[in-house]
């Protein structure tokens, strides 16, 4: 596969570029910035050693190269101390722009990102969107292996996904000393995969993992910090009904979810496919929010009485409610949640994504083939517009 154009755009000021491993950060940077840049890759053991020992070396490098206006520091989380120096340089030298990439915000959280708040934008790179892949987008493949560039581009996606998870466990969790017992954490990963696309019940997970509830909470926050998972809050704006208060959990990618989810003879493949389908839609909405700009956010909706909508995108540009169903037919009960939502929020755009082949309007709800929805979703346009 040739190198694909990404929707991600340089914001024109210094910025952090975060994204899970293998989302194409380095590839994008190398394509976008070809000259007049200083490139520091902290994955190089030698540079890692030099900058850990003496972060001020960055000053000397910049002063020695006055013709270079952009400084890229790849894998900034490896040497968080560098952020102090970056901060000082931004304050004193208005001509230099920094691009700081990372695949984990765990160590940067308390110190770095806050320190640079207001001086550097916080940007994210996501898995491929269908429209970035164009003709190379294959819906079945995406459902099976997800949309991580590293995996989508691979000759052997299953093997790549397995290696990917092992790498996260070893390098991001174990070597960084994030947990005391890596065995407990691996078991937790397997168990939480059953909650993918569902509301989290930490007590239940703790019981199944044989660890305390506090440990589960800390494990979940690790997953979020190393960018492997997202939690969606309930949409509560102007609420007219009693809503539940728990958050919904998703791995960042359907392929990663499937790799972690054990599937034995008693597991329904149809059920797992359904969750993977939702996951793919979630990934696209996250990416759309990030590249579209303007701080739109992703939620879900569920009332205490059990009415539910899978996704709500809300922000200055949109109020869109989306229900996803892994089925070729639409039964009237399938639209119940969206109808209730529409009653409470008459201005909302309501979309029902299914596996059939036609676009249909039912009770003011546009029912759309999921595949078509994904292929037409682009950051420059609204959700479900074309
Ligand atoms: N734009 C693209 N088009 C096609 N394939 C891509 C693209 N970007 C990334 N890939 C594929 O994904 C692989 C990983 O990309 P890259 O190394 O840029 O990710 P990264 O986000 O920098 O990961 P890490 O956090 O591990 O450094 C590439 O080797 C390539 O196979
Ligand atoms: Mg990289």
**pLDDT tens digits, residue range 82-91?**
998 999 999 8
Rounded to the nearest 10 degrees, how much is the dihedral formed by the CA atoms of 195, 226, 177, 82? -170
Ligand whose nearest atom lies closest to the CA of 7: 1
Distance 21 CA to ligand 1 centre (A): 8
Mean pLDDT of the chain: 94
pTM: 0.96
As a whole number, mean pLDDT of residues 87-100 equals 90
160 lines ligand 1 (CB under 6 A): no
List the structure tokens of 91.
Answer: 């304050």
Q: Is the CB of 103 under 6 A from ligand 1?
A: yes
Which atom from ligand 1 is nearest to the alpha carbon of 1? 4
Q: Compute the distance from residue 28 Cα to the ligand 1 centre, in Å.
A: 8
Range(s) of the chain covered by CATH 3.40.50.300: 15-124
The arithmetic mean of pLDDT across residues 28-34, rounded, is 93
**341 vs 105, more confident:** 341
Mean pLDDT, rounded, for 251-273: 93
CA trace torsion 220, 226, 228, 230 (10° rounding): 60
Give the Å distance between the CA of 384 and the centre of ligand 2. 32
Atom 29 of ligand 1 has which residue's CA nearest to it?
A: 150
For the Cβ of 20 lying below 6 angstroms from any atom of ligand 1, the answer is no
**Cα of 136 from ligand 2 centre, angstroms:** 23
Return the percentage of the chain with pLDDT > 70, whole number.
98
23 close to ligand 1 (CB < 6 Angstrom) = yes
- Is residue 129 a contact partner of residue 7, using CB atoms and an 8 Å limit? yes
Q: Exposure pattern of 240-254 as b/e (b: 16+ CB <10 Å)?
A: eeebbeeebbbbbbb
CB 96 within 8 A of CB 69: yes
pLDDT tens-digit profile of 297-347?
A: 999 999 999 999 999 999 999 999 999 999 999 998 999 999 999 999 999
Question: What is the C-alpha to C-alpha distance for residues 174 and 74, in angstroms, rounded to an integer?
Answer: 21
Question: How many CB atoms lie under 10 A from the CB of residue 347?
Answer: 6
Q: How far is the CA of 30 from the centre of ligand 2 (A)?
A: 10
Helix (H, G, I), strand (E, B) or coil at 224: helix
Closest CA to 325 of 278, 285, 359, 269: 278
Q: Is 202 in the pocket of ligand 1 (CB under 6 A)?
A: no
Q: Is the pLDDT of residue 383 over 80?
A: yes
Rounded average pLDDT over 61-66:
94
Could you tell me the pLDDT band of residue 229, with boundaries at 50, 70 and 90?
very high
Supply the pLDDT for residue 111.
61
Q: Whose CA is nearest to atom 13 of ligand 1?
A: 150
Distance 25 CA to ligand 1 centre (A): 6
Q: The CATH number of 15-124 is which of 3.40.50.300, 3.20.20.70, 3.20.80.10, 1.10.340.30?
A: 3.40.50.300
Contact (CB, 8 A) for 339 and 348: no
pLDDT digits (tens, 9 = 90+) for 355-380: 999 999 998 899 999 999 999 999 99
The verdict on the CB of residue 150 being under 6 Å from ligand 1 is yes
């Amino acid at each position: 596969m040739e190198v694909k154009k990404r929707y991600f755009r340089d914001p024109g000021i210094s910025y952090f570029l975060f994204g899970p491993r293998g989302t194409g950060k380095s590839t994008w940077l190398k394509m976008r910035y070809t000259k007049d840049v200083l490139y520091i890759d902290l994955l190089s053991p030698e540079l890692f050693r030099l900058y850990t020992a003496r972060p001020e070396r960055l000053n000397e490098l910049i002063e020695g190269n006055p013709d270079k206006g952009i400084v890229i520091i790849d894998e900034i989380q490896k040497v968080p101390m560098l952020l102090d120096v970056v901060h000082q340089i931004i304050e004193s030298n208005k001509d230099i722009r920094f691009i700081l990439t990372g695949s984990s915000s765990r160590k940067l959280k308390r110190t770095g990102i806050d320190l640079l708040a207001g001086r550097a934008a916080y940007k994210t790179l996501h898995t491929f969107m269908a429209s970035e892949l164009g003709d190379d987008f294959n819906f079945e493949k995406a459902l099976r292996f997800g949309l991580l560039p590293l995996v989508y581009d691979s000759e052997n996606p299953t093997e790549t996904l397995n290696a990917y998870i092992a790498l996260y466990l070893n390098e991001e969790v174990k070597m960084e000393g994030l947990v005391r017992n890596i065995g407990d954490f691996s078991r937790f990963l397997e168990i939480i995969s059953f909650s993918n696309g569902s509301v989290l019940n930490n007590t239940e997970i703790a019981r199944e993992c044989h660890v305390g509830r506090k440990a589960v909470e800390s494990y979940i926050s690790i997953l979020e910090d190393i960018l492997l998972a997202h939690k969606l809050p309930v949409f509560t704006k102007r609420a007219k009904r009693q809503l539940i208060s728990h958050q919904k959990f998703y791995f960042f990618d359907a392929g990663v979810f499937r790799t972690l989810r054990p599937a034995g003879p008693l597991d329904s493949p149809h059920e797992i496919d359904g969750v993977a389908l939702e996951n793919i839609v979630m990934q696209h909405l996250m990416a759309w929010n990030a590249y579209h700009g303007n701080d739109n956010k992703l939620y879900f909706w569920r009332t205490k009485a059990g009415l539910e909508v899978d996704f709500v995108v809300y922000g200055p540009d949109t109020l869109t409610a989306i229900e996803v169903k892994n089925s070729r037919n639409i039964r009237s009960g399938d639209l119940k949640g969206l109808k209730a939502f529409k009653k409470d929020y008459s201005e909302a755009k309501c979309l029902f994504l299914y596996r059939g082949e036609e676009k249909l309007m039912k009770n003011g709800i546009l029912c759309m083939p999921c595949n078509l929805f994904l292929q037409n979703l682009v950051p420059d346009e609204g959700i479900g517009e074309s």
